[in-house]
Amino acid sequence: MNKWILLSACILFLGACSESPQSTVPLYQVEPKGFAVVIPAVGELEAAQAERINTPGRSPMIIDWLAEENSWVTKGQVVARFDAEQLLLDSREEELEMMLLDMDMRKQNAQESQQQNELDSDKVLVGKEFKFVDAFAIDDLRLYSKLEIIDTLSNRDYLGAKEEFIEWKESSIDDRNQSALAVLDIRKGGHQAKFQQHQSALSQLEVIAPYDGMLVYEKNWRGDKASIGQTVFPGSTIATIPNLEKMQAKLYVLDKNAIDLEVGQTVNLTLDAYPDEKLEGEVLTVSGFSRTVKRGNPTKYFELLVSLDEQSTTLQPGAKVSGTVNVTNTQTKIVIPLQAIFNEKSENYVYIKDGRSFTRRPVKTADKNLYFVEIVEGLKAGDIIALSVPEDALRSTYE
């Protein structure tokens, strides 16, 4: 009896060893299903129309005081004030430079007057020498020898040349003086222009609201809003007074998720503060390239502006929203998970189950969303494919 029990156990053991181990490759059965390209997005509400409040002047200024954000302001009310200390220092520096240039110009004029006086003295002396030569010039050979007569004539020629030289030097001094004064005047004009800019900025240290409305501070390219102590540049927008009757949404889509985004696509939105309030809209613009939206964060996003089909009093500037962009409508198609697609030498393929093994089969793809891709050729409903590389395919690769 014990022999039969032992023999039966051996047969069962050998049978178990002869069976192939069960495959651990995850599988997916291909079947038609509803498919749509829907892109998630996040952002905030903003006014479609707003009156901008820009930094005045022509030089950078430091913010000294700001009115409270989201407060109601009236026309003529001060909403921002800038620090005057640096402007006063710069203005005094330019004023000093102009005073120094005025001194240089007076010095130049004094030098010209001195040189002109010296030339006038030389001209008087030459005139006297001319008179002396003319008074004692005798060309009678009976009184003077030929050498003495020639020497007298030479003296006259020398005095004539000296007179011409003095006239040339007088003209040259005037030209040099005018050129030097012109250079100094140009330099003074540059400092004068800067001085006037600083004086203009000093007269515009306070920014006032042009209209009644809610004050909303604008974000700069780094995503920072205006704050006390911040340096702002001329013409930059520090705040807006939005038209609350016409709101829109500014959305950000992660660059790797931005699939076929276009103007005119519909958008479904939800207010983060009011999850039950649903909004619908349409894409107005899509940025041409992705960029970072937060300082210190390298993640890049595409920016979308979305119009809203309906307006309500709960829509306020800066309210956070979440939503989806409907790139394509839901249609029944043959789709498979993205992880089931493999690529080699620009050819897409899948591993299809064939009995106990897998066969590599090329496929042609079309639209895709974040999870699935449409198959237009190579698979049919009922096919079973691998969601990872099968073990036999890995073995053949390494062999």
pLDDT digits (tens, 9 = 90+) for 295-329: 778 899 999 999 999 888 888 888 899 999 999 88
Instruction: Give pLDDT, residue 244.
Output: 81
For 22-35+331-398, CATH gives: 2.40.420.20
Sequence-ordered list of residues with C-beta below 8 angstroms from that of 179, at least 6 positions apart, any chain: none
The domain limits of the chain are: 22-35+331-398, 39-84+212-326, 86-198
- By C-alpha distance, which of 283, 287, 321, 316 is closest to 301? 287
Each residue of 197-228: pLDDT tens digit? 878 877 878 888 887 888 888 887 777 888 88
Q: Is the pLDDT of residue 6 over 80?
A: no
The predicted structure's pLDDT at residue 16? 43
Whether residue 333 contacts residue 35, with contact meaning beta carbons closer than 8 Å, is answered with: yes
The structure tokens listed for 321 are 């929203």
Q: Quickly list DSSP for 240-274.
A: EEE-TTSEEEEEEEEGGG--S--TT-EEEEEESS-
Measured CA to CA, the distance from residue 71 to residue 247 in angstroms comes to 18
Burial 228-243 (b: 16+ CB within 10 A, else e): eeeebeeeebbbbbbe
End-to-end CA distance of the chain: 50
**pLDDT tens digits, residue range 65-120?**
888 888 888 888 888 888 888 878 888 999 899 999 999 888 888 888 887 777 77
Q: What is the CA radius of gyration of the chain?
A: 46
142-199: per-residue pLDDT in tens?
445 554 544 554 566 666 777 777 777 777 777 788 888 888 889 999 989 888 887 8
Question: Three-state DSSP class for 348?
Answer: strand
Instruction: In whole angstroms, give the CA distance from residue 348 to residue 365.
Output: 8
pLDDT for 254: 93
Q: State residue 142's pLDDT score.
A: 45
C-alpha 366/C-alpha 377 separation (Å) is: 10
| Fold of the domain spanning 39-84+212-326 | Elongation Factor Tu (Ef-tu); domain 3 (2.40.30)
* 96 sits in which H/E element: helix 85-135
Residue with tokens 């004029």: 109
pLDDT in tens, 241-290: 888 888 999 999 999 888 889 999 999 999 998 888 899 999 999 999 99
Of the given ranges (112-121, 259-268, 372-381, 383-392), which has the lowest mean pLDDT? 112-121
Q: What is the pLDDT at residue 48?
A: 86
Domains 22-35+331-398 and 39-84+212-326 share a fold: no
Q: Which residue has the higher pLDDT, 18 or 387?
A: 387
Closest-CA residue to 302 (of 329, 326, 325, 279): 325
pLDDT tens-digit map of 48-66 = 888 888 887 777 888 888 8
